[in-house]
Copies of this chain bind each other. A is one copy, B any other.
Amino acid sequence: MSTLNEIADLVGGKVVGDGGVSIIGIQSLGEASQGDISFFSDRRYREDLEKTKASALLVSTVIDSFNGSQIVVSNPALAYARVAGLFAPSPPGFSGVSEHAVVQKSSKIGRSASIHPMVYVGEEAVIGDDATLYPGVFVGDRVRIGCKTVIYPNVSIMCDCVVGDEVIIHAGTVVGSDGFGYARDGVKSVKIPQIGYVQIDDQVEIGANNTIDRAALGKTWIKRGVKTDNLVHIAHNVVIGEDTIILALAGISGSADIGREVIIAGQAGVIDHAKIGDRAMIGAKSGVIKPISSGEVVSGFPTMPHPLWLRTRKLLSRLPELNERIRELEKKLELLEKHHEKP
């Protein structure tokens, strides 16, 4: 529970109305009841705004029609992110190494780290201070995990991988599985041992059931601030630049080099060795098969500039009509030609 004044301090906002109101939760406009704070930053929720029962709002400009108190901030979505943290359920209250975990003696566990039951930590691994490993986490030999990093249940981090500080890895994800590399010996596939590793830098967040392959040689590298959604595949030797975002079910093939602040939308695919420049945006379901320059916004398979894609995709459903028009033209033209041939 906080007062509205305390929340305004937290988000650097200005209270309009009664700052002494007690806030006991945060909810969407539609779900909020007495005592909740809510937020308005997306016009799609205008109707909800009129009917909301929230006691207070985070807004960018004062909403005259709202009766409760308001906190005016420049970025309500960002303020919401901060306030939601006040009401998040506390993580399982456990610190130390569970007697039901198996930690090899050559490993080092940081101060106040939480090693839950059924965690396995291999030889010569290093787990940072205040890190949390949920039940079922596998940490391979010589893995290093940074401070304040949270690894959710049933995540597997294979040997020699390096995970930075304040990283979050959601349940079921695999870091450091072998890259898909084979040499052909006739029709047989001979496995190329994958002797590289994965490096995940600070403040990265990896979604659930991702697969991030270790490099064949050298490293697969996920740089600071990258965020991936669920079921994302990142192949061996891929490099992903700072603050890049990858949405669900996207697949990045081997040795692709993705710049910083790139956005790759859901179910998109990137060919091996592709180069994508900083701040590029790759549309949903796209297939990137050629280099994308910095700042380019592309969609489609193969990718084209997004505005062209918007026009193209409209015409897709008009193909039968275009076909009909061509046939019509052919008929008419034939008729005209016949007329002409006649003397």
Interface residues of A (CB under 8 A from B): 26-28, 31, 44, 75, 77-78, 80-82, 84-85, 87-89, 92, 98, 100, 102, 116-118, 120, 122-123, 134-136, 138, 140-142, 152-154, 156, 158-160, 168, 170-174, 177-178, 180-185, 187-193, 195, 205, 207-211, 213, 216-218, 225, 227, 229-231, 233, 235, 243, 245, 247-249, 251, 253, 261, 266-267, 269, 271, 273, 284-285, 287, 300-302, 304, 308-309, 311-313, 315-320, 322-323, 325-326, 329-330, 332-333, 336-337, 339-340
Contact of A191 among B81, B153, B271, B284 (CB under 8 A): B81
**A266 B251 Cβ-Cβ under 8 A:** yes
**B273 A187 Cβ-Cβ under 8 A:** no
11 more A-B residue pairs beyond the given contacts A81-B191, A231-B231, with a C-beta to C-beta distance below 8 A: A77-B192, A102-B117, A116-B120, A154-B156, A180-B248, A208-B211, A229-B233, A266-B269, A267-B269, A312-B317, A315-B320
A184 to B227 alpha-carbon distance, docked (Å): 12
What are 29 A-B pairs at a CB distance below 8 A?
A28-B216, A77-B184, A78-B183, A84-B193, A84-B216, A89-B159, A120-B153, A152-B156, A154-B154, A158-B171, A180-B248, A188-B225, A208-B213, A213-B230, A229-B233, A248-B251, A269-B285, A271-B284, A308-B320, A309-B317, A315-B319, A322-B323, A322-B326, A325-B326, A329-B329, A329-B330, A329-B333, A332-B337, A336-B336
